[in-house]
Amino acid sequence: MSTGSVSRHGMWSNRWLFILAAAGSAVGLGNIWKFPYIAGENGGGAFVLIYLVCVAFVGIPIMMAEVLIGREGRQSPINTMRKLTEQHHKSGLWTLIGWAGVVAGFLILSYYVVIAGWALFYVLQMGSGALDGATADSASRLFDEFLSDPWQMIMWQTIFMVMVVYIISKGVIKGLERAIRWFMPLLFVLLCVLLGYAVTSDGWSQGVEFMFRLDFSEVTSESVLIALGQAFFTLSLGMGAIMAYGAYLPSGTSIGSTVTIIALLDTAVAIAAGLAIFPIVFANGLEPSQGPGLMFVTVPLAFGQLPLGVVFGTLFFVLVSFAAITSAISISEPALAYLVEEYNAKRGRVAISLGAISWLLGIGTVLSFNVWADVHIVGQLTYFDFVDYVSQNVMLPLGGMFIALFAAYVLPNTVIGAQLGIKSGAAAVAWKVVCGVIAPAAVLVVFIATLFPDLFNAVIALF
C-alpha cells in the first residue's frame, strides 16, 4: 500500500507541523481582511451562520478528502490524480482537477500578493507614526490616497512577490516550519489585544449584535454562494493546496481529528477578526459594508488611539503579512511541485517564472483600484472583482465538489478505509454520506440557486 511511502519533496517532521503548516495556509488574508468585509457587505449574523454551516458540512469533509488523496498519491495534485486514476483504471479526465487548481492558484496568487502588499505598506505607515492618533477621516484618506497611486501599489506588490519567490525557492518545509511556529501564536496574541480594545470601545455591543444577530431578510442566493466560496477560500480548499501539503503528511496520522483542529483554528481567527473590527467601525460611525478597505481603515484607527499603539499596530501588520506569506506559499505549491516533478527542474527557477506570471496578472488588480476603476468586465465587476469572484466563488467550489466525488466514489473503499483509519461499516457509510452526498450536493444546490435566484427566493419565503 502506498500510504507508507514518502514524498520526493520532503515530509513534515510530525503531525503538529502539518497542522501548523496547513493552519498557516488556511489563516491568512481570507480570515483577517476578507471575512469581516464580506460579512459586512452581506448583512452580518445570518451570513456568519451560513458560513459556519458551510465550514462544518462542506469544508471539513472536503479538506479530509484533499488530505487523503494527497497522502495516497504523495506527489503534486496533477501527478497524484494521474497516478491514482492509472493505478485504479479510472478516467484520466479526473486529472483536470489538478490542472484547474493550478489555474485557480495563479489567479488567486495574483491578487493575493497585491493585497498583502497593502499590509506591507501599512507596516511602514504604522511604524513611522503616520497614523498615530488617526481619526476616521484621516485613516480613510490615507487609504484612498494609497489606492489612487498605481506605482506605489506595484512597488509593494513587487516586494511581497519577491519575498514569496525567495521562500518557495528555498523549499517549503525548512525555514517555513520554523517561521510558522512563532508567527501563528503571536498573531493570536495580537488579535487578542485588538479584541480587548474592541471590548472596551463604545461600539462593542453593536458590533457583537451585527456579527451574531440572525436576520435572514438580507440573505440572497448570492450571499449563500459567497459564504460557500469564503469557506473554500479560507480553508484553502478546491485548488489542491491542501492536497499538495497532504502529500507530505506522515502515514499513520489521523486525518479526521487533524483536519478538525485546522478548521477550528481557522474559524476562531476569522470570528476574532470580525469581533475586533466591527465595534471599532460602529464606535467611529464608519460603514460596516465599506468593502476591501475595512481592515486598512479600522485597525490603524484602533491602534492609533492606544498607548503603544504604534508598536502594536506595526506588529499587527507585520503578522498579517506573515500570515499572508504562509498562505501565498501554499497557493503556489501545486504548480511548483508539478513543474519540479515533470521537468526535474530546480525549485528556484520554477519559482521565479511562476512569480513573474502571477505578478503580471496582478497588475490588473492594481489598476482596478485606480486607472481601470470604471472598466467593468461583467456587470459592475472590475477586473479585481471578476478574478476574485470567478476563482473564489466558481473555481474553488467546483474543484472541491469534484475532489469530494473522487474521494467518495473513484478511489476504492479499501484505500479510503486505510487512509481514514475507518474500522466500522457505520463509519464507512457516514463518510460516503458526508463526502459523497452532502458536500457535493450543497455545492450543486448553491450553484443552481445562484443561476435561478427566483426559485431560491421562493423556497426561502416558505420558511
Number of residues near ligand PHE (by CB under 6 A): 15
| Least gap, CB of 269 to ligand PHE (angstroms) | 9
The Cα–Cα gap between 408 and 405 comes to 5
Report the site for ligand PHE in 48-77 (rule: CB under 6 A). Answer: none
* x/- letters, 359..388, toward ligand PHE (CB under 6 A): ------------------------------
Binding to ligand PHE in span 406-445, by CB under 6 A: none
What x-and-dash track marks residues 206-245 binding ligand PHE by CB under 6 A? Answer: ---------------------------xx-x--x-x----
Nearer to ligand PHE, 203 or 246 (CB): 246
Give whichever of 19 and 241 is closer to ligand PHE, judged by the CB atom.
241
Residue nearest to ligand PHE (CB): 30
Through-space distance between the first and last CA atoms of the chain, rounded to whole angstroms: 50
DSSP letter for each residue of 360-422: HHHHHHHHHTTTTTT--SBTTB-HHHHHHHIIIIIIHHHHHHHHHHIIIIIS-HHHHHHHHT-
Cα–Cα distance measured from residue 391 to residue 93, given in angstroms and rounded to the nearest whole number: 21
Whether 8 contacts 341, CB under 8 Å? yes
What is the smallest separation between the CB atom of 21 and ligand PHE, expressed in angstroms? 11
Which residue, 393, 419, 449, is CA-closest to 67? 419
Toward ligand PHE, which CB reaches closer, 29 or 139?
A: 29
**What stretch of H or E contains 86?**
helix 77-87
DSSP annotation of 219: -
The distance of closest approach from Cβ of residue 327 to ligand PHE in the complex, given in angstroms and rounded to an integer, is: 4
- Determine the Cα–Cα distance for residues 437 and 434; give it in Å rounded to an integer: 6
Return the exposure string of 128-139: e unless at least 16 CB atoms fall within 10 Å of the residue's CB, then b. eeebeebebebb
**Shortest Å, Cβ 261 to ligand PHE:** 16
Q: Quote the CA–CA distance of 205 and 224 in Å, as a whole number.
A: 26
Query: Of the two residues 72 and 266, which places its CB atom closer to ligand PHE in the complex?
Result: 266
Binding mask 143-172 for ligand PHE (x = CB under 6 A): ------------------------------
**Taking the complex as a whole, how short is the minimal distance between the CB of residue 328 and ligand PHE, in angstroms?**
8
The distance of closest approach from Cβ of residue 240 to ligand PHE in the complex, given in angstroms and rounded to an integer, is 8
Question: Which residue, 119 or 255, has its beta carbon nearer to ligand PHE?
Answer: 119
Smallest gap from Cβ 237 to ligand PHE, in A, equals: 7
Q: Which 5-44 positions form the footprint of ligand PHE (CB under 6 A)?
A: 25-26, 28-31
**Residue placing its CB nearer to ligand PHE in the complex, 108 or 318:** 108
- Residue 72 or 333: the one with the smaller Cβ distance to ligand PHE is 333
Nearest to 167 by CA among 153, 151, 183, 189: 183
Residues 98-117 that bind ligand PHE (CB under 6 A): 108
| 301 Rama sector, left if φ>0, alpha if ψ -120 to 50, beta otherwise | alpha
| CA–CA distance, 356 with 379 (Å, rounded to integer) | 30
d(CA 164, CA 28): 14
Binding characters for ligand PHE, 317-356, by CB under 6 A (x = yes)? ----------x--xx-------------------------
Per CB under 6 A, 391 contacts ligand PHE: no
* Between 113 and 420, CB nearer to ligand PHE: 113
Residue type at 250?
P
Smallest gap, in angstroms, from Cβ of residue 112 to ligand PHE?
7
Q: How far is the CB of 320 from ligand PHE (least distance, A)?
A: 10
- Residue placing its CB nearer to ligand PHE in the complex, 112 or 121: 112
Residue closer to ligand PHE (CB basis): 80 or 327: 327
Distance in Å, CB of 286 to ligand PHE, minimum: 23
Q: 334: exposed, middle or buried (C-beta count within 10 Å: 0-12, 13-18, 19+)?
A: buried
User: Do 274 and 211 form a contact (C-beta atoms < 8 A)?
Assistant: yes
**What does the alpha-carbon distance between residue 64 and residue 59 come to, in Å, rounded to a whole number?**
9
Comparing CA positions, the residue from 416, 385, 361 lying closest to residue 109 is 361
**Taking the complex as a whole, how short is the minimal distance between the CB of residue 239 and ligand PHE, in angstroms?**
6
Alpha carbons 458 and 409: distance in angstroms, whole number:
33
Instruction: Pick the closer one to ligand PHE by CB: 85 or 236.
Output: 236
Binding site for ligand PHE (CB under 6 A): 25-26, 28-31, 108, 233-234, 236, 239, 241, 327, 330-331
